[in-house]
Every structure is written in C-alpha cells, then in structure tokens.
C-alpha cells in the first residue's frame, strides 16, 4: 500500500462495499459523481489496484473495512 486512506476515502469505500453506485454515493455524500470518481482514483492508486472488487479486498486486508 502506497499511502494511508483518508477518512473520506474510507467512507466512499464503505459505501462501495454496501453496493452503492457512484451516483448513489454522490447523492448520499452530497457531491458530484466526478468527485466520487476522483476519490475512487485516489483509492485505487493508494491501494495499487484497478477495480472496485480488488479495492474492497485489499481494504479488508488492511483493516479499512
């Protein structure tokens, strides 16, 4: 893992784990879908993964979820 995830990134990951779409996450957090995508990009880079599934698996391994 490259860097520690921020509180907001962990929040986004939890919502992904709950099965929410980017649109639903954006609505829940009162941000744009573009902001959610940017958070996911940062998460993927920090966890060194390329998909939601891989991000969730690695986040669980590192104790984020």
User: Residue 7 to residues 11, 39, 49: CA-CA distances in angstroms?
Assistant: 6, 11, 19
CB distance 37 to 47 below 8 Å: no
Question: What's domain 7-61's architecture?
Answer: Orthogonal Bundle (1.10)
**How far apart, in whole angstroms, are the C-alpha atoms of residue 60 and residue 26?**
22
- Predicted local confidence at residue 3, as pLDDT: 87
Which pLDDT tens digit goes with each residue over 12-53?
Answer: 999 999 999 999 999 999 999 999 999 999 999 999 999 999
Instruction: Give the integer Cα–Cα distance in Å for 48 and 42.
Output: 10
pLDDT of residue 2: 74
Map out the domains of the chain as residue ranges: 7-61
């Amino acid at each position: 893992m490259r860097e520690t995830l921020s509180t907001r990134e962990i929040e986004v990951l939890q919502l992904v784990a709950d099965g929410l779409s980017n649109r639903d996450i954006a609505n829940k957090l009162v941000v744009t879908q573009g902001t959610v995508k940017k958070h996911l990009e940062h998460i993927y880079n920090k966890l060194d993964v390329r998909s939601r599934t891989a991000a969730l698996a690695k986040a669980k391994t590192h104790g984020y979820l």
